Chains A and B, each alone.
Chain A
Amino acid sequence: MILPTKRRAASAAAAACLLAAALAGCAASAPRERAAATPAASLRVMVKLVHASEDASAISAEASRIAGIPVTYAAATSPAWHAVFLHCASAAECDSALARLRAASATYQAVEIDGRKSRASS
Chain B
Amino acid sequence: MRRLLICTAVVAATWASPLALRTPLAQTAAPAASSTARVIVKFRADSTLLRKQALSAAGQNELQASALGRRIGLALESGRGLTERSHVVLGRGLTSRQLAARIAAESDVEYAVPDERKHIVAMPPNDPFYATGPAVGPTSGGPAVGQWYLRPPGAAGTGANATAPSAINAEQAWDITKGSASIVVAVLDTGLRFDHSDLQGGNVLPGYDMISADSPGVFTSAGDGDGRDANAADPGDFVTASEAASLGCPEEPASSWHGTQTLGLIGAATNNGFGIASVSYGGVKVMPVRVLGKCGGFDSDIQAGIMWAAGIDVPGVPHNTTPARVINMSLGGVGSCTQGYIDAIGKANAAGAVVVVSAGNSGGNGVSNPANCPGAIGVTALRHAGDKVGYSDLGPEITISAPGGNCVTVTTGTACVYPIMTTTNTGVTAPVAGPGGAAYTDSFNSSLGTSFSAPLVSGAAALMLSVQPSLTPAQVKAKLQSSARPFPTSGGSSATIPTCTSSSTSQDECYCPNPGVGVTTLCGAGMLDVHAAVLAVAGVQASISLTTTTPTANQAVALTSSSVVNPGQSIASYQWTILNAGTTGATITGANDGASVVVTPTAAGAFVIQLTTTDNSGFVSTTTLSVTVASDTVTPPASAPVATSSGGGGGAVGVGWLALLLAAVLALAATAPRARRSALSVVARPARKR
Contacts and interface: CB of A to CB of B under 8 A. Distances in A.
A13 B429 contact: yes
B1 interface: no
B278 interface: no
Nearest to A33: B242
A103 interface: no
Nearest to B213: A74
B430 A115 contact: no
Given A2-B407, A13-B429, A118-B292, 12 more contacts: A5-B449, A7-B446, A17-B253, A20-B428, A29-B220, A29-B243, A77-B307, A78-B347, A83-B300, A110-B339, A114-B298, A119-B189
B451 interface: yes
A117 B296 contact: yes
Contact of B447 (A1, A33, A38, A121): A121
A116 B237 CA distance: 14
A107 interface: no
Given A16-B429, A24-B430, A2 B300 contact: no
Nearest to A3: B407
B430 A120 contact: no
A121 B253 contact: no
Interface string B323-366: 00000001111010011100110010000000000111100000
Contacts of B445: 6-8
A12 B450 CA distance: 27
Nearest to B250: A118
B316 interface: yes
A4 to B, nearest CB: 8
A38 B215 contact: yes
A121 B258 contact: yes
Contact of A77 (B223, B344, B360, B408): B344
B280 interface: no
Interface string B281-317: 0000000000010011111111110010000101111
B516 interface: no
Interface in A18-56: 20, 23-26, 28-30, 32-33, 35-38, 42, 44, 46, 48, 54
Interface stretch (B159-167, B192-200, B409-417, B637-645): B409-417
B298 A115 contact: yes
Interface string B196-234: 000000000000000011111111100101011000000
A4 B217 CA distance: 35
A10 interface: yes
Interface of B: 189-190, 212-220, 223, 225, 227-228, 236, 238, 240, 242-243, 246-247, 249, 253-254, 256, 258, 261, 292, 295-304, 307, 312, 314-317, 330-333, 335, 338-340, 343-344, 347, 358-361, 368-370, 389-391, 406-410, 412, 416, 428-430, 444-452, 454, 493
Contact of B428 (A13, A29, A109, A110): A13
B236 to A, nearest CB: 7
B314 A120 contact: no
Contacts of A76: 304, 314-317
A108 to B, nearest CB: 11
B253 A10 contact: yes
B428 A33 contact: no
A120 B299 contact: no
Contact of A116 (B218, B295, B314): B295
Contacts of B389: 2
A75 interface: yes
Interface of B: prevailing SS = loop
Contact of B429 (A20, A77, A117): A20
B446 A3 contact: yes
A80 interface: yes
Given A78-B307, A122-B448, A17 B339 contact: no
A59 to B, nearest CB: 10
The 6 closest A-B pairs by CB, nearest first: A13-B253, A25-B430, A121-B449, A120-B358, A83-B300, A16-B428
Given A118-B333, A119-B296, A35 B217 contact: yes
A21 to B, nearest CB: 9
Contact of A1 (B227, B369, B410): B410
Contacts of B212: 74-75, 83
A42 to B, nearest CB: 6
B444 to A, nearest CB: 6
Contacts of B358: 120
